[in-house]
Structure 1
């Protein structure tokens, strides 16, 4: 022991004499799991595309990749929502901490809002308020992430689910959405993928990224398949009621008596206020299966450990949900529908870009790339990088949402900007085509 100490003292002395110091062994370590999946998020890919813009191009950048129309004047939220928020702040009643699950009047208002379209009414105890829909996704996936558990996600889908699942060690298995059937769920694939460790399947309706609306009949088949497999359905309905085609929006909670359904939503899209970060997680389970298995208590426990939405926004929710007039919604739907038609028709004239079906909901359309048309385009990511650099148009490569050599395009922007974006896209494709 003495010999070891003498050696250490000698090494230390030699290090000082040589003008160097011994390297300190720090105690902290990188938690690599916190960065798992960050590269596949829409924000991450958008940031990469934005970095490729040509700064000498004086034309405005056209954002056809991100579903946030709030930047455009034609999509401004209703004055009812703005007044409700101001009144909430000025009341002085919502400056303190709120309960983790959400303020009671706000939860009751969300329950009433959702119950308008459901056969079984929800109570405030069925609703948990979250910091946007993203927080709701984090909550339910974390609660379900038991050892060896797996979850079934749609392909294409919203990549945030996969990123969160990876971060909490929840195995992901993908089932296809079928473009030839208006992006219906491949239920045969769902049954083939599921096993005794499958906990849930996710659907997104209205569809992101496909712009589809599931029919009542198809949703019932989804519920019956989930019941057969003994799993719950997580229904992402953040674009609820943004439907403008042949199929009306039907909430998955309609089939909660068949299989347990957890509905995720927010005011972000329908009210055009994504930055307000007010969402919810709602339980549609009249048979009490989730309560019996402790899922409800676990959700409440997890939410109590995380952050909750600002209380002044919660205070405004009863008026926002209860007093917004139908004409506001009709105006927004009218703009989005016209844009969807213009986008679909415009893309029909773009060489190498093919839309399998006309969008009927949400704010997006999926278009397939025919790489054989192009002379120097390797794949969808290469396409989007070059498009950003040459035309200052940002479109999301399909690989981000699970479909290689596809594109996800948003049409929820100013109509004139959309028209300009399609023109630039067409010019780009013509310039890179083999015929050119």
Structure 2
């Protein structure tokens, strides 16, 4: 037998297509693809306008309080062991107190579940609400991770539009038209990623009343909470938790400029106890008991980070982001082929529409971004990645001088490819 051709073995393992999402749904995948197109002979620095991580720039360093809290947490030797699956009690209390500052009622530690960044919070709540034939309503444009997780959970996705001519408000008529007896929840992101918008108190109340009418949960992604620098103040969706149950997802990643620390939370805003009555809270606890936990070192530092960071640190960050938002919006105003429907008022992004009729040799948004990376070493995210074909998501939370350089290169690229003199 040894001299005979070996028989072909039939292996029983198979690729799970639910995990093979590809770069079309992954922001990181698209960014890596664009990075691979950079001209290796280019002497100018690459300008990263395609992601939401400003921590690489010195002007966006986190607070001294946060750094000291981490050091103290390590040196205390109190946080070297395993923690509870739902999070260390003092850390949960600290998050409850932090969120309660902006709410008309007080959260308790039992309303808070700590997660490995906001991504685990997304995974947890989408997994918990998934039932056979159930569907969820997601914004378009939106954060594609929701769609990826829903797909892995076999949760059907339906998209509702955000309206650019109304400062990216939710199309509430579309919500009612899309929902049926199998709809379990809708997602909003406020402050907006990728639109840079802030929902008004009045609009959020309408969202809550629509959700109550339909009998669905509101999942409110507030990772960019308080990063508001326009005329509209940030209002948490949990303000309306007495109208309809709200699950708030958040983290310290953006406001403290520490996305790599991976500390997030899932908060139950439900004074009427509807989610507990329906077993959702118990299911959240059960899911977290079989998943990974955030670092106990970070959890140990959270009480000091949330309670002792001074307002001047937040003001400094807001001022830098606002300056950059102005540079971006004003700089884009005279770039041929780019249309910015509204000035960003929050988060770190703005959505810009491509007028393809202006360009000679640009097929779509992905083609635009590929050629821009190759010719100008500027990375911008194509809108198709966040659900809007032939739009661009531009990040302005970088060093202002680098942003000005990036806008100049972007303008030169558009003028070079324009079919108009």
Secondary structure of 1:265's aligned partner: strand
The aligned counterpart of 2:178 is: 193
TM-score by length of 2: 0.99
Structure 2: runs of 5+ lacking an equivalent: none
Moved more, 23-32 or 167-176: 23-32
Q: Of 28, 41, 56, which residue of structure 1 is paired with 2:41?
A: 56
1:332 aligns with 2:317: yes
SS in 1 for 2:268: strand
Task: State the shift of 1:263 in Å.
Answer: 0.1
Shift of 1:38: 5.6
Is the CA contact (8 Å cut-off) linking 1:263 and 1:281 kept in structure 2? yes
Where 1:242 maps in the other structure, the secondary structure is coil
Matched residue, 1:117: 102
2: CA distance between counterparts of 1:28 and 1:375?
48
Structure 1 CA distance for aligned equivalents of residues 123 and 349 of structure 2: 23
Partner of 1:98: 83
- Following TM superposition, where does structure 1 have runs of at least 4 consecutive aligned residues deviating by more than 6 angstroms? none
Instruction: Kindly indicate whether residue 203 of structure 2 is the aligned counterpart of residue 230 of structure 1.
Output: no
Alignment of 1:369-408 (within 5 A): 369-408=354-393
Matching residue of 2:187 = 202
User: Quick check: 1:37–1:166 contact (8 Å CA) kept in 2?
Assistant: no
CA distance in 1, matches of 2:371, 2:197: 28
Displacement, 1:342? Answer: 0.7
Corresponding position: 1:35 with 2:20:
yes
Contact 2:23–2:30 under 8 Å retained in 1: no
Counterpart of 1:268 (choices 245, 250, 253) is 253
Q: Distance in 2 between matches of 1:215 and 1:63?
A: 30
- Partner residue of 2:129 out of 132, 144, 149: 144
Match status 1:65 vs 2:50: yes
Equivalent of residue 273 in structure 2, options 284, 288, 305: 288
**41-50 or 320-329, larger mean C-alpha shift:** 41-50
Work out the CA distance in 1 between the residues paired with 2:158 and 2:12: 37
Structure whose alpha-carbon radius of gyration is higher: 1
Sort the Cα spacing of 1:270 and 1:66 in 2 relative to 1 into closer, same or farther, 3 A. Answer: same
The equivalent residue for 2:197 is 212
1:8 corresponds to which residue? none
Q: Contact 2:24–2:385 at 8 Å: present in 1 too? A: no
| 8 Å contact from structure 2 (residues 221, 248) kept in 1 | yes
5+ unaligned residues in a row in structure 1: which ranges? 1-12
Whole-angstrom distance in 2 between the partners of 1:145 and 1:382: 36
8 Å CA contact 1:351–1:426 kept in 2: the answer is: yes
- Provide the aligned length of Structure 1 versus Structure 2: 421
Distance 2:406 2:18 in 1: 38
Q: Does 1:178 align with 2:170?
A: no
Give the whole-Å Cα distance in 2 for the aligned partners of 1:419 and 1:383: 20
In the superposition, relative to structure 1, how do residues 321 and 61 fare at CA in structure 2: closer, same or farther (>3 Å)? same
- Give, in whole Å, the separation in 2 of the partners of 1:99 and 1:39: 36
- 8 Å contact kept, 1:38–1:163: no
Per the alignment, residue 362 of structure 1 pairs with: 347
Q: Tell me the SS of whatever aligns to 2:114.
A: strand
State which drifts further: 41-50 or 268-277: 41-50
Contact 1:37 1:167 in 2 (8 A): no
CA distance in 2 between partners of 1:25 and 1:155 (Å):
43
1:133–1:279 Cα contact (<8 Å) kept: yes
Taking the aligned partners of 1:108 and 1:328, their CA distance within structure 2 comes to: 23
- Once residues 191 and 30 of structure 1 are traced to their aligned partners in structure 2, the CA distance between those partners, rounded to angstroms, is 37
> Residues 137-176 of structure 1, C-alpha deviation per residue, up to 9 Å, x if partnerless?
0000011111100000000000000011001100000000
Distance 1:228 1:220 in 2: 12
Aligned match of 1:7: none
SS in 1 for 2:398: coil
Partners of 1:156 and 1:186 lie apart in 2 by 12
CA drift of 1:22 comes to: 1.3
Query: Is the deviation greater in 320-329 or in 40-49?
Result: 40-49
In the TM superposition, 1:159-178 aligns within 5 A as 159-178=144-163
Distance in 2 (CA, whole Å) between partners of 1:264 and 1:234 is 7
Tell me whether 195-204 or 23-32 shows the greater mean CA deviation.
23-32
Deviations 1:87-129 (A, max 9, x none): 0000000000000000000000000000000001000000000
Structure 2 SS opposite 1:113: helix
Counterpart contact for 2:354–2:391, Cα < 8 Å: yes
